[in-house]
Amino acid sequence: MTGPVVSTRRQPRTDALRNRERLLVLAREHLWDKGFEFSAAAVAADAGVGIGTLYRHFANRDALIEAVLADFLTEVEAELDAVETMEPGVEALGEYVRGLAGAGGRGLADIVLADPESTPGLAARRRDIRSRGGALIARAQETGAMRSDFTLDDLHVFLCVIAGLSADKRVGDVLVNRFIRDHLEGLR
């Protein structure tokens, strides 16, 4: 007769969990500011830990990027969930853009414009998000609420522009929202 299986694996220490969370927060900030070209060493330094600590949590820089993106993609999926229940049209697209605008900076451009396969662990989710974005556009076009020549690539470029404007401290939310409204009005 055998006894119960006892795991010999220890639970992570509280400080290790704190370090991991801090690394993710700072990696996200670096990603938004510098795009995919951010430095893992700079993230570790800003977190007040050595590069070895970062690599104990994330096998390599790509694993760190994928961990940051996994959290962000969850936010994107939630935005899509919310707008897919709206009446199809420019307003739904506007809400989607506004919801993502806060991500800001070069990082969003790198994420949106990069091939989904550039992050293999997230490629399926990224393809699904693109498909859902395309469906949002198609629904608006089918109802006549949006011009027929607007494409998913157009949406991606628009998102990048809005993210850049939102990241610029000299541009306030009022101007960003007016720019979104004016651009979307031109899609009718």
92: which 2 tokens? 């739904």
DSSP characters over 36-71? GG--HHHHHHHHTS-HHHHHHHSSSHHHHHHHHHHH
Is the residue at 4 inside a domain? no
Is the residue at 7 inside a domain? no
Is the residue at 63 inside a domain? yes
Angle 152-167/90-101 helices, nearest 10 degrees? 40
The structure's pTM equals 0.83
The string of pLDDT tens digits covering residues 92-103 is 888 898 888 777
Q: Which domain holds residue 58?
A: 14-185
Is the residue at 1 inside a domain? no
Is the residue at 3 inside a domain? no
CATH classification at residue 109: 1.10.357.10
Which residue in the block uniquely carries the two structure tokens 């961990």? 67
Is the residue at 6 inside a domain? no
Q: Are 57 and 20 in contact (CB under 8 A)?
A: yes
User: What is the domain count for the chain?
Assistant: 1
The string of pLDDT tens digits covering residues 47-64 is 999 999 999 999 999 999
